[in-house]
Amino acid sequence: MDSAPCWSIRLAAESLPPLKRALWIVLGLLVIGLTAWQVMPLARDWFPQAAQKISGPKPDPATYLTLSADLEKRRAAMAKRHRAARTEKDRAVIEDEARVDLEKTLPAMMRCWLGTPWDFNGTAPGPGQGKIACGYFVSTVLRDAGFRVDRYKLAQQASEHILQTFVDRKAFHLSAGKPYETFVSSVSKVEPGICLVGLDSHVGFLINDAQGFRMVHSSGSAPWCVVDESRNEAGVLQRSSYRLVGNLTADRALIRKWLRAEPLKVQTQPVKPGPASPARAGR
């Protein structure tokens, strides 16, 4: 049933001549359209994560759990063969097999997180199960891929220390204060594999292959969620003046630790004097 004010307005509109009534309707539509046009940019700023959920990729927790569980079964089987191998050559064959498996499975696990909202203090345990900070995204994916590491302690370290937890500093590729294209060119010379990249105050993954590299990370910039970006799209990487790259899957010692399920000690201090450590990696 109509309220009294609405009834009065409708009566007033109906009392107008047809031409004036049409003009009032057109004017009203223009006002509504102009208001919507002005509010939409503000809405995108106020609710960036909601906008991303509507238009972007969706987290896939079910596939993530399956990938993690299947990888662990294969790791255990390869570890058994590795222990039984009689020669270094035989063990190397199994380590190469493990590397191929990780380089195939890790990107698939990362992409299950796409669209998961970012937050500086986010500690989501899995894709789409809350918000996730960049350091926690890295530490959680690696833990769920079978690396025995304290994800909470690791995520709270500077990006340099996160990399040092997995890879010897001698194997790092450092680019500080250099143009982005110089960095891109130098990465093309890095052995293909799954890399960690530490920035001024950020950390993420680089998937480096023959076609170039992609950066998968929980972004504190638009669209404020876990993203998979090409080298031309990776704005955070482009803007950083400090870029440190460590190749996880090219490190045979790390592959052995992964096979043997050896606990990894989280580095909290530089292994040896070097460039000043960047700020904490955005959690």
Nearest Cα to 237, choosing from 157, 134, 156, 137?
134
Local structure of residue 270 (DSSP, 8 states):
-
Whether residues 109 and 176 fall in one domain: yes
pLDDT of 152 above 70 = yes
Total domains in the chain come to 2
Give every CB contact of residue 265 below 8 A, 6+ residues apart in sequence: 165
What distances in angstroms separate CA 215 from CA 25, 178, 194, 245, one per listed residue? 51, 19, 10, 12
The answer to whether position 186 is within a domain reads: yes
- Considering the domain architecture, whether residues 78 and 199 belong to the same structural domain is answered as yes
Closest CA to 118 of 45, 49, 198: 49
CB-based contact 39:94 (threshold 8 Å): no
Residues 58, 198 within the same domain: yes
pLDDT of residue 7: 45
Residue 29: pLDDT above 60?
yes
What pLDDT is recorded for position 269? 73
Q: Is residue 80 part of a domain?
A: yes
Rounded CA-CA distance 140/112 in Å is 12
Please tell me the predicted confidence (pLDDT) of residue 210: 86
Determine which of 3-7, 189-193, 222-226, 253-257 has the lowest per-residue pLDDT on average: 3-7
Residues 170 and 89 placed together within one structural domain of the fold: yes
Q: What percent of the chain has pLDDT over 70?
A: 76
Q: Is residue 251 part of a domain?
A: yes
The reply to whether 94 falls in a domain is: yes
In a shared domain, residues 8 and 100: no
Domain shared by 65 and 29, yes or no: no
Domain membership of residue 127 (yes or no) is: yes
Question: Are both 135 and 12 inside the same structural domain?
Answer: no
Q: 3 is written with which tokens? A: 């309220």
Residue by residue, DSSP assigns 166-230 as HS-GGG-EEEES--HHHHHHHHTTSPSEEEEEE-SS-EEEEEEETTEEEEEEE-SSTT-BEEEEE
38 and 80 share one domain = no
pLDDT band per the 50, 70, 90 thresholds, residue 276:
very low
Flag whether 268 is in a domain: no
Pair 19, 152 in one domain: no
What's the pLDDT tens digit per position in 60-98? Answer: 999 999 999 999 999 999 999 999 999 999 999 999 999
- Does residue 219 sit in the same domain as residue 128? yes
Residue 112: predicted pLDDT: 98
Structural domain including 38 reads 4-46
155 has pLDDT over 90: yes
User: How far, in Å, CA of 249 to CA of 255, rounded?
Assistant: 7
Please state which of the ranges 7-11, 147-151, 244-248 shows the lowest mean pLDDT: 7-11
Q: What is the mean pLDDT of the chain?
A: 86
Confidence check: pLDDT of 257 > 80: yes
Task: Report if residue 269 sits inside a domain.
Answer: no
- Residue 279 has a pLDDT of 42
Mean pLDDT, residues 213-219 taken together:
98
Which is more confidently placed, 125 or 11? Answer: 125
Phi, psi for 86 (deg, rounded to 5): -95, -20
Does 42 share its domain with 54?
no
Q: Is residue 33 domain-resident? A: yes
Rounded CA gap, 161 and 48, in Å? 31
Of residues 109 and 45, more confidence is placed in 109
Paired strand residues for 176: 242
Same domain, 131 and 76: yes
In whole angstroms, give the CA distance from residue 57 to residue 71: 24
Predicted confidence band of residue 274 (pLDDT cuts 50, 70, 90):
very low
Mean pLDDT across 207-212 = 92
